[in-house]
Structure 1
Amino acid sequence: MTCALVVGATSTLGKAIVRRLAFAGFKVAAAGDCPNSVGKVAEDNKKVGGDVTAFSLNVSNPEHRKELIQKVAEKLGGLDTLVIVPPQNEIVGEIVETSDTDFDKLFADMLTVPFRLSQAALPQLAKSENGSIIYITSCMGYTPSIDMGLYSVASNSVLSLTKAVAQSAAKKGVRVNSVVSGMVEGDGSGAVWDQTNGEEARQIKQHLEAMIPLGRLGRPADVASYVEFLASTRSRYITGENGIVGGGVSYRL
């Protein structure tokens, strides 16, 4: 049975990815910083037949990251896929007004930690017949927003990270791709628009849906389905790609 480790499993997207992989027959290691929260994710999936094991860690701690990979491999019998879901973004505003604290935190969440996790996991992933790393990032990396300038830059860095790590990891037989989410409900990428409610939220949603060719906002399950494809053997000749889940909105040629 294929084993997938989902780091950031307690976020909106993380929960959807864990559920999708579990339904697809993966043994899933759900990792997060809160033991109670990640434990609930595992229990909720077990109730519907999912093979999900909870792991808690401080993802910023190098020793915790190393121990996580070792424990997952020992308890689940190996590691085939690493999925890294960054924390939901809460940093908004123009980039020139960014504080040192916000700058360091966002780049740690979206670039430094995913890269270090990848380094820690590569030796185990290289033992798999279909080893892969999947980063989650945002379409803001292609199209900067004035009120989310720093988030746009950090998201763009993941696009480059994907291609650079893919080049090196390929030598070890490990594929590296990212899933680039468009306007997805509840993932934090919407900044102000997904934090409103009532009539204002309804009007904003209608305006956004009118901009999307498929006529609706994305759902966490849409992102999770793409992750499941990239983790499967059906994508074994795909690496170094940033795959957009955007409902037809043109973020690039």
Structure 2
Amino acid sequence: MRFLLSSRLLGKVAVITASTDGIGYGIAERLAKEGAKVVVSSRKQKNVDTAVEKLKAQGLNVVGTTCHVAKKEDRSKLFQLAESTFGGVDILVSNAATNPTMGGVLDCDESAWDKIFETNVKASYLLAKEVLPYLHKRKGGKIIFVSSIAGYNPMNLLGAYSVSKTALLGLTKAAAVQLAKDNINVNCLAPGIVQTKFAEALTSSEFARTEALSHIPLNRFGTPTDMGATVAFLASDDANYITGETIIVAGGMTSKL
């Protein structure tokens, strides 16, 4: 039996990258619970199978496929699956990101820099570009990038990653201006510290947790569910008059770590 939190997204089809765990999974689950048909993806088939099984067990309308966002054929496969299974695409959530190195921005070696920007920025740009024919068929749609509070307040241990997330803020604004005439809204989510595998360095040890929480007025880390709720709003008709904006979901966190 399918349980819907609301019917805001009934009839909509959403494609979400890196959505078998963490923030991406939270987004996929929430969009599906609000009525969307959802395509989830991961680089590993095992992760895809596990996520699809968990979501379908809740009665949610979900399919999945492997996708390495830096590969054109994999990006194309996402949209083709959405069209062949669900009839089109209304919502793109670009969530995939990587961070193969830690340290200050000018300590990042060139190969790590290239990998970070290929996945975090270039792939987001290409996904947005390649989804356009599908959105035009629907006479409009929603594109949502996932940035980070580090895009506003760079974290020294995440130097190059922080810069890549700043780039997404600019991509959001520029694409929103260009696509407004096509009835396509482009917005962005900037999570704070979310309790996921990616953030384990900041959430696992007692010392790190205490230090991180001292910068968060709400005194807790975010959850994938928190992020999914905000994306569901941005993907819905409730956000039709919002474009080019980034919503920070960080428990009031504004200070640098």
Normalised by the length of structure 1, the TM-score is 0.91
1-structure distance, mates of 2:175, 2:75: 18
Residue 191 of structure 1: how far off its partner (Å): 7.1
1-structure distance, mates of 2:149, 2:22: 17
- Indicate the SS of the match to 1:192: helix
Structure 1 segment 1-253 matched on structure 2, within 5 A: 1-128=11-138, 131-186=141-196, 188=198, 190=199, 192-194=201-203, 197=204, 201-250=205-254
- Indicate the SS of the match to 1:69: helix
- Partner letter of residue 218 of structure 1? G
- Partner letter of residue 211 of structure 1? H
CA contact (8 A) 1:162 1:177 kept: yes
5+ residue gaps, structure 2: 1-10
Residue 238 of structure 1: how far off its partner (Å): 0.6
Residue 130 of structure 1: how far off its partner (Å): 5.0
Residue 145 of structure 1: how far off its partner (Å): 1.8
- Indicate the SS of the match to 2:206: helix
- Indicate the SS of the match to 1:126: helix
CA contact (8 A) 2:98 2:120 kept: no
Normalised by the length of structure 2, the TM-score is 0.89
- Indicate the SS of the match to 2:39: strand
Aligned Cα root-mean-square deviation (Å): 1.8
Change (3 A) 1:203 1:67: closer
Report Cα offsets for 1:16-66 as digits up to 9, x if no partner: 111111111111011222222112111110011111101223322223322
Report Cα offsets for 1:79-120 as digits up to 9, x if no partner: 110001123534211222211110000001110001101111
Aligned length: 246
Residue 192 of structure 1: how far off its partner (Å): 3.2
CA contact (8 A) 2:104 2:157 kept: yes
Residue 226 of structure 1: how far off its partner (Å): 0.4
- Partner letter of residue 217 of structure 1? F
- Indicate the SS of the match to 1:211: coil
CA contact (8 A) 2:233 2:239 kept: yes
CA contact (8 A) 1:213 1:248 kept: yes
2-structure distance, mates of 1:103, 1:11: 24
- Partner letter of residue 17 of structure 2? V
1-structure distance, mates of 2:121, 2:136: 22
Report Cα offsets for 1:178-234 as digits up to 9, x if no partner: 10011212162x47324xx4xxx1232233223211121111111111011101111
- Indicate the SS of the match to 1:83: strand
Structure 1 vs Structure 2: percent identity of aligned residues?
A: 32
2-structure distance, mates of 1:145, 1:87: 16
- Partner letter of residue 49 of structure 2? G
Change (3 A) 1:5 1:208: same
- Indicate the SS of the match to 2:137: coil
CA contact (8 A) 1:89 1:191 kept: no
CA contact (8 A) 1:3 1:78 kept: yes
2-structure distance, mates of 1:112, 1:144: 20
